[in-house]
Amino acid sequence: MTDMWGQGPGQGPGYGPGGYGWGGAWTPPPPPPQPGVIPLAPLGVDRILGGTFTTMRRHAKPLFGTVLLVYLVLGVLMAGALALGYTAVSDDVRALFDRHTEPDWSHLRPVLVAFGIAWAFGMVALTVGTAFIQSACTVVLREAVLGRPACFGAVWRHAWSRTPSVLGVGLLMGLIALIPAGLAVAFMVSLVVTLLTQSVAPVGVLFLLMAVTVPLVVWVYVLFLFGPAAATLEGAGPIQALRRSARLVRGAWWRTFGISLLAGVIMMVVSLAVRVPLQLAMPDPTVQPYEPGQDLSDVFEAMLPQLGFAMVLSMIGNLLVQLVSSVFLPLVTALLYIDQRIRREGLAHTLELASRSDA
């Protein structure tokens, strides 16, 4: 198997240490070449995070442009699905909101089915869009590492061709993540049953299962973290990409987990830094002037301009946070993948040759 850099797994020499020159003087090793956003050598945490932010700055147009366009397409598709669903059951919706008649299951059932189908369609479209964004970020990072401009059209073509494999990887990893989620739901249900029946056996068993399963799922999830990058850059299928990821992460699990966790914490801090001020800026209905006997609709009408402005700001802030997180986390993961290949397979030499051939 040959990847996008023309190297098979395990090929390519690494950079050796320095040596002793004339008279026994120590000669330090030459600095590694850096044609792009990272030096072609094993990377520390600072280089990984710095390379991520540099890629986001230098290639903002293909990165954020791709994410914006994907979200725009998803929004149009979701709006179309909801419009079609409403058109199909508009009579039932009007019947449910008719004040002169009691709600009837014969009207509620088709509404639930129609909008349930629209929701399912939206989730499928979002899953495909997320896989495409992951693949596109990895393709842009490849060009950034080699010091080449990322052509918007080329990024889209290659990312779209690898989206089915990345989607397969994401679905398999999602199935793994469903295990603790299902146990958590079962734990809550059993807790309710325990409160009603005074039995502690189901809760205790499920708690033990969660205590054992959650760490195991986290371990497997991190082990497969490089799957999207391997599927994009090595042309691997979903199962092959997961096996490739497991081989690269093995022996470096804690490092991969720690840096990924740090990236998640950074995004959480950024999210809080944006959303908390916006939340504080939302109008508080309790401070609005209200006189006894005044109609609540008048109070709401007086708040409407301020509330609408705050909601628009909140939507913009949430969109910015989503844009950054959609790009930042895949870039960090892809750089970790490249770093592991540099450390284990001498990928730095292949990258240097690729960057020189394009110069």
* Lowest pLDDT segment from 7-16, 197-206, 318-327: 7-16
**Residue 302 confidence class, pLDDT cut points 50, 70, 90:** low
If you average pLDDT over every residue of the chain, what do you get? Answer: 82
Q: Does the pLDDT value for residue 273 go beyond 50?
A: yes
**Residue 243 confidence class, pLDDT cut points 50, 70, 90:** very high
pLDDT in tens, 124-172: 999 999 999 999 999 999 999 999 998 888 999 999 999 999 999 999 9
CA atoms of 14 and 342, how far apart (whole Å): 8
**Residue 70 confidence class, pLDDT cut points 50, 70, 90:** very high
In the DSSP assignment, the letter for residue 102 is -
Q: What is the pLDDT of residue 358?
A: 61
CA atoms of 193 and 202, how far apart (whole Å): 9
| Phi/psi at 305 (5° precision) | -60, -45
CB atoms within 10 A of CB 26: 8
Angle formed at CA 257 by CA 31 and CA 247, multiple of 5 degrees: 75
CA atoms of 253 and 258, how far apart (whole Å): 8
3-state SS, 16-67, equals CCCEECHHHCEECCCCCCCCCCCCCCCCCHHHHHHHHHHHHHHCHHHHHHHH
The share of the chain scoring above pLDDT 90, in percent, equals 44
Q: What is the pLDDT of residue 300?
A: 54
- Domain definitions of the chain by residue range: 37-166+252-283+303-357
CA atoms of 323 and 307, how far apart (whole Å): 24
Q: Does the pLDDT value for residue 108 go beyond 50?
A: yes
Task: Specify the residue for token string 């147009």.
Answer: 61
**Residue 72 confidence class, pLDDT cut points 50, 70, 90:** very high
Q: What is the pLDDT of residue 301?
A: 57
Provide the residue count of the chain: 359
Whole-Å CA distances, 130 to 74, 101, 134, 267: 10, 44, 6, 17
